[in-house]
């Protein structure tokens, strides 16, 4: 029940998202190795994405929440989010407290999540309830679901949500109270 409270909270916050694409088959996932950077480097450097398995491993080792971006290579809103949201300096700074993971929501690649094997497409639909792309999901360092938001998210809105989760504020404060405290 506690976990679902946050799923609904973040889904409600997803109402700020602009749009999402439908479903179609194609693509593979993008991944790279973890790096450590200063705040200045974070705002000017390209964001480093992890594969699903690697991201969960790094999250567990660093005790940082995961931001999971589920997309499809053909999805124009996914491309727009990569181009406009994830290149924003505030968003890059917010990622300093998160482990960024991306998966192709239509891939047949098999991964293990909480002791069960899934293709990335099955994981997306069955576990993370993806009905369109893009989909943003926040996970605890142990992989438990915090919540998700469908559709394209503008940089300012995304940075606020990422900071809320990355700072651990979701554990004891509503998003609305967090935003009031931040002066928004």
Q: Write the CATH number for 151.
A: 3.40.30.10
Residue 10 in contact with residue 147, Cβ under 8 Å?
yes
Q: Which of 105, 106, 118, 102 is nearest to 31 (CA)?
A: 102
3-class secondary structure per residue, the chain: CHHHHHHHHHHHHHHHCCCCECCCCCCCCCCCCCCCCCHHHHHHCCCCCECHHHHHHHHHHHCCCEEEEEECCCCHHHHHHHHHHCCCHHHHHHHHHCEEEEEECCCCCEEEECCEEEEHHHHHHHHCCCCCECEEEEECCCCCEEEEEECCCCHHHHHHHHHHHHCCHHHCCCHHHHHHHHCC
Res 21: pLDDT = 55
Res 144: pLDDT = 97
* In-domain check, residue 172: no
Tokens of 31: 């991944």
* In-domain check, residue 173: no
* In-domain check, residue 47: yes
pLDDT, tens digit, 9 for 90 and up, residues 29-51: 333 444 444 444 444 567 899 99
Res 122: pLDDT = 98
**Could you tell me the residue range of the domain that residue 68 belongs to?**
2-22+39-167
Rounded CA gap, 70 and 133, in Å?
7
- Preceding amide of 2 cis, omega within 30: no
* In-domain check, residue 116: yes
Res 46: pLDDT = 78
Res 138: pLDDT = 98
What does the angle CA 66 – CA 103 – CA 52 come to, to the nearest 5 degrees? 50
* In-domain check, residue 96: yes
Res 47: pLDDT = 85
* In-domain check, residue 152: yes
Res 175: pLDDT = 93
How confident is the prediction along the chain (184 residues), in pLDDT tens digits per residue? 444 444 434 444 443 334 445 544 333 333 344 444 444 444 456 789 999 999 999 999 999 999 999 999 999 999 999 999 999 999 999 999 999 999 999 999 999 999 999 999 999 999 999 999 999 999 999 999 999 999 999 999 999 999 999 999 999 999 999 999 988 7
Res 183: pLDDT = 87
Res 45: pLDDT = 65
* In-domain check, residue 73: yes
Res 18: pLDDT = 41
* In-domain check, residue 10: yes
Res 136: pLDDT = 98
Q: Structural domain tally of the chain?
A: 1
């Amino acid at each position: 029940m506690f976990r679902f409270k946050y799923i609904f909270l973040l889904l409600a916050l997803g109402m700020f998202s602009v749009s999402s694409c439908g479903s179609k088959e194609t693509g593979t996932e993008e991944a790279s190795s973890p790096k450590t950077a200063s705040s200045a480097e974070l705002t000017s450097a390209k964001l480093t994405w992890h594969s699903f398995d690697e991201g969960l491993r790094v999250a567990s080792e660093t005790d940082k929440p995961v931001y999971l971006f589920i997309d499809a290579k053909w999805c124009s809103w996914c491309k727009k989010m990569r181009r406009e949201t994830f290149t924003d300096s505030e968003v890059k700074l917010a990622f300093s407290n998160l482990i960024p993971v991306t998966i192709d929501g239509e891939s047949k690649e098999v991964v293990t999540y909480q002791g069960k094997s899934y293709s990335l497409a099955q994981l997306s639909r069955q576990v993370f309830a993806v009905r369109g792309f893009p989909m943003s999901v926040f996970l605890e360092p142990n992989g438990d679901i915090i919540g998700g938001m469908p559709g394209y998210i503008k940089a300012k809105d995304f940075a606020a949500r990422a900071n809320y989760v990355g700072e651990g504020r979701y554990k004891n404060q509503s998003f609305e109270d967090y935003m009031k405290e931040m002066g928004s």
